[in-house]
């Protein structure tokens, strides 16, 4: 058995017949990612009014992922649970402790507590799922099978059920998106970012398993991405690829961290920063057709206004947008933004819910340390390909989070791969992980 779960492509297990252990690993892996990407509510109708934003969450997701968590915990117990210990690095532990403190100080303690517990459930599943594949080729095969299945569902929906897979003029919200593809997802933006993740997976499959299969995934995902017309996904895709290539070439932790944080600060200035800096706003108005980022600047201004009132502890873990205080309790300051589900900026959301110190801890844990981990050179080209996949996933999620809330989401097609990539880079960096049977 592999020390950490994934082995080099040339290992002796690559050609062995599927046994019970491999079958269980495969079923758990595919079921998990189908739950994340296909969800338990594929092809939702958008012609009906959405549920109230103050509701406590999707009970089906919570129940099913709680069951998955119990299954994963049992599997890990019988497969060297000590392998999970390297994940308990100081930055991760400090982040969880701070989030727990923000539950205590939350203006909705019970809501924050429930959401923190479910976040820990999702983080646990994303940490263990990396251990399931027995080798690099198995990892590739499982990802390829899952992605091709989801892509097939998306294209079949477009062909045979367009009312449920393409935005329509009859959509209750945002009918202006009519004609844009969304596949099995609830929104074109979710479809777009997922297609970018699929492109990265296709690159990985082409590198370690099959150029034909990998190419099919890349082309199919790119075509679907084009028809989603998701500006965030299309714009961030080349940035993630370029930064990954730069970090891979530099292979120095400090340089890589400074590069990514510099670009992230730049994104912050041209997005949330444009609310306060008139010169930036004027520049954006001259070069962009919509300097409000489709209305996001209103949300950012609203969020920044209330962040200044509780900058240290925030309003409670995942307890600002959608709470009764925001939707109904802000009196004369109320506007359409009160009913928004999030700020469309994960970093502003974090600052609002766990304060600026909590935001800093999350950045260290989920961005800085994984880049440091990546700079531990892999022992073979195939394992380096897996590291590159994890880094591409991570960097895309880092920068797409400047326009969407993709961190600590209860269940999100981006957050789960985001955390999985961070854990995967950690596994591959520690010295005991030789990735061999």
> What is the 3-state secondary structure of 137-172?
HHHHHHHHHHHHHHHHHHHHHHHHCHHHHECCCCCC
Mean pLDDT of the chain: 86
Q: Is 360 exposed, middle or buried (0-12, 13-18, 19+ CB in 10 A)?
A: middle
| CA 80 vs CA 2, 295, 298: distances in Å | 10, 49, 49
pLDDT score at 271? 86
The pLDDT of 18-42, averaged and rounded, is 88
The pLDDT of 227-231, averaged and rounded, is 92
* Helices and strands, counts by H and E, the chain: 17, 0
- Does residue 243 register a pLDDT over 90? yes
Give the integer Cα–Cα distance in Å for 184 and 164.
8
| Interacting residues of 355 by C-beta distance below 8 A, sequence separation 6+ | 102, 310, 311, 312, 313, 314
Is residue 184 within 8 A of residue 153, CB to CB? The reply is yes
Q: Which of 412, 431, 421, 405 is nearest to 370 (CA)?
A: 421
Give the integer Cα–Cα distance in Å for 89 and 47.
46
Structure tokens at 285: 């108005």
Give the integer Cα–Cα distance in Å for 202 and 179.
26
The number of CA neighbours under 13 Å toward the Cβ of 265 is: 7
More reliable by pLDDT, 329 or 354 = 354
- Does residue 436 register a pLDDT over 50? no
- Which residue stretches of 38-79 are H helix? 59-77
pLDDT score at 50? 61
- Does residue 208 register a pLDDT over 80? yes
Q: Which of 324, 326, 397, 363 is nearest to 126 (CA)?
A: 397
Q: Which of 118, 146, 128, 134 is nearest to 14 (CA)?
A: 134
H helix or E strand, kind and range, residue 212: helix 211-228
Give the integer Cα–Cα distance in Å for 419 and 96.
14
Q: Which of 377, 410, 370, 373 is nearest to 394 (CA)?
A: 370
pLDDT score at 330? 58
Spacing of C-alpha 104 from chain mean position:
26
Q: Which of 189, 213, 190 is nearest to 201 (CA)?
A: 213
**Percent of the chain residues topping a pLDDT of 70:** 88
The pLDDT of 7-30, averaged and rounded, is 69
The pLDDT of 104-125, averaged and rounded, is 92
Is residue 148 within 8 A of residue 214, CB to CB? The reply is no
Domain boundaries, the chain: 20-46+57-66+86-429
Which residues are 166's β-sheet partners? Answer: 181
Structure tokens at 253: 């932790």
DSSP letters, 371-385, are HHHHTS--SSHHHHH
- Does residue 8 register a pLDDT over 80? no
322 pLDDT tier (thresholds 50, 70, 90): confident
The pLDDT of 104-122, averaged and rounded, is 92
DSSP letters, 73-124, are HHHHHTS-GGGGGGG--HHHHHHHHHHHHHHHT-SSHHHHHHHHHHHHHHHH
Give the integer Cα–Cα distance in Å for 330 and 306.
11
Give backbone dihedrals phi and psi of 414, rounded to 5 degrees, phi first: -105, -45
Give the integer Cα–Cα distance in Å for 296 and 294.
6
Collapse the DSSP code of 359 into the 3-class scheme (helix H, G, I; strand E, B; otherwise coil) and give the result: helix
């Amino acid at each position: 058995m592999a020390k950490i779960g994934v082995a080099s492509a040339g290992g002796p297990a690559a050609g062995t017949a599927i046994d019970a252990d491999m079958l269980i690993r495969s079923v758990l892996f595919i079921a998990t990612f189908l739950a994340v990407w296909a969800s338990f509510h594929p092809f939702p109708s958008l012609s009906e009014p959405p549920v109230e934003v103050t509701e406590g969450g999707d009970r089906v997701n919570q129940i099913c992922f709680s069951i998955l968590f119990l299954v994963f915990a049992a599997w890990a117990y019988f497969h060297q649970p000590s392998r999970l210990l390297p994940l308990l690095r100081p930055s991760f532990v400090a982040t969880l402790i701070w989030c727990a403190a923000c539950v205590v100080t939350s203006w909705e303690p019970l809501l924050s507590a429930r959401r923190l517990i479910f976040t820990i459930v999702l983080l646990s599943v994303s940490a263990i799922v990396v251990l399931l594949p027995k080798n690099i080729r198995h990892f590739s095969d499982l990802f390829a099978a899952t992605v091709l299945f989801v892509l097939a569902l998306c294209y079949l929906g477009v062909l045979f059920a367009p009312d449920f897979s393409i935005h329509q003029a009859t959509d209750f919200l945002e009918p202006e998106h009519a004609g844009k593809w969304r596949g099995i997802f609830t929104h074109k933006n979710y479809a777009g970012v997922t297609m970018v993740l699929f492109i990265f997976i296709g690159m990985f499959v082409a590198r370690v398993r099959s150029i034909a299969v990998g190419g099919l995934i890349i082309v199919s995902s790119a075509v679907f991405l084009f028809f989603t017309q998701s500006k965030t996904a299309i714009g961030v895709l080349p940035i993630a690829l370029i930064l990954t290539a730069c970090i891979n070439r530099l292979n120095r932790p400090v340089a890589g961290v400074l590069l990514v944080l510099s670009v992230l600060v730049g994104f912050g200035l041209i997005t949330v920063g444009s609310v306060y800096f008139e010169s930036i706003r004027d520049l954006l108005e001259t070069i962009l057709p919509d300097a409000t980022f489709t209305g996001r600047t209103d949300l950012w201004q609203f969020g920044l206004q209330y962040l200044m009132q509780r900058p240290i502890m925030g309003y409670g873990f995942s307890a600002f947008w959608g709470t009764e205080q925001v939707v109904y309790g802000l009196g004369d300051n109320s506007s359409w933004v009160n009913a928004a589900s999030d700020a469309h900026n994960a970093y502003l959301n974090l600052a609002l819910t766990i304060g600026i110190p909590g935001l800093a801890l999350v950045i260290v844990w989920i961005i800085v340390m994984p880049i440091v981990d990546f700079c531990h050179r892999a022992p073979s080209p195939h394992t380096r390909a897996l590291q590159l996949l994890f880094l591409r996933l991570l960097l895309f999620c880092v920068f797409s989070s400047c326009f969407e809330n993709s961190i600590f989401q209860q269940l999100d097609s981006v957050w789960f791969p985001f955390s999985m990539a961070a854990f995967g880079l950690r596994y591959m960096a520690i010295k005991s992980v030789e990735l061999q049977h």
